Amino acid sequence: MATTKNRVLAAEPAAEFEHRDEIVRILRLACAQIQSAVQQSDQAVSSLGDAFASILDCEDEISRELMQYDALDSFAGGACDSAARLGSQTRSAIVALQFYDRLSQRLDHVAGSLELLGDLLARDEDCATDSCWRQLHSQIRSRCSMHEERELFERIYGKQSETVTEVKPGSDFESF
């Protein structure tokens, strides 16, 4: 009976190591998927931004050409109004695309944090020490460049010693 117990105890560290390896692989897969999705989306959003810029150029050309017509010409007046609305809507769409830029940046930070965690877990000897986890928290916190990211970090982890830069409530400043 003692030999069975010894085999079970001897097998536990190996099983823990295999689980840790599996966690690291899953984290790396998650990082790769996030990075791939962001990269593919970047290309599509870039094309969309270029298309909107081209539409604005066309709107400017149409408006300039229509200005040459008599201001009393109802066709020219209506076309100028339509061109102005087109330009306004296109500018609004470009501003809305800025949301994607923020999303992309946040996903990049998430992938980076998962990578750091995977690296820590892959170093068998390091992940048991509090100092390594504090260092990981500090590295993750330092990647939080947007107010919302810092706020979420603080909500989850609370204030972190001197590494936290004070952000005044209501401040719109974001460091990049």
pLDDT, tens digit (0-9, with 9 covering 90-100), for 148-176:
888 888 888 886 433 434 434 444 433 33
- Rounded to whole angstroms, the Cα distance separating 112 from 110 reads 5
- What is the chain's alpha carbon radius of gyration, rounded to the nearest angstrom? 27
Nearest to 85 by CA among 97, 93, 95, 96: 93
- Residue 18 or 22, more confident: 22
pLDDT of residue 126: 62
Is 176 a member of any domain?
no
- Rounded to whole angstroms, the Cα distance separating 9 from 11 reads 5
Torsion sign (Cα): 43, 44, 46, 50: positive
Is 156 a member of any domain?
no
pLDDT of residue 82: 83
Is 29 a member of any domain?
yes
pLDDT mean over 44-62: 87
- As for how many domains the chain has, the answer is 1
Is 174 a member of any domain?
no
Is 164 a member of any domain?
no
pLDDT of residue 92: 87
Query: Mutual orientation of helices 74-122 and 130-142 as an angle, nearest 10°?
Result: 170
Is 87 a member of any domain?
yes
Question: Across the chain, what does the average pLDDT equal?
Answer: 76
pLDDT of residue 169: 41
pLDDT of residue 95: 85
Is 100 a member of any domain?
yes
Share of the chain above pLDDT 90, in %: 6
Is 167 a member of any domain?
no
Nearest to 176 by CA among 105, 94, 103, 99: 105
pLDDT band at 65 (very low <50, low <70, confident <90, very high): confident
pLDDT mean over 142-152: 89
Kindly report, residue by residue over 105-134, the tens digit of the pLDDT.
Answer: 889 999 999 999 888 888 867 677 888 888
Q: Point out the least confidently predicted range of 28-42, 49-63, 79-93, 158-172.
A: 158-172
Q: Domain containing 102: what range?
A: 2-128
Grouping H, G, I as helix, E, B as strand and the rest as coil, residue 39 is helix
Torsion sign (Cα): 82, 88, 89, 91: positive
Torsion sign (Cα): 103, 104, 105, 107: positive
- Rounded to whole angstroms, the Cα distance separating 82 from 142 reads 48
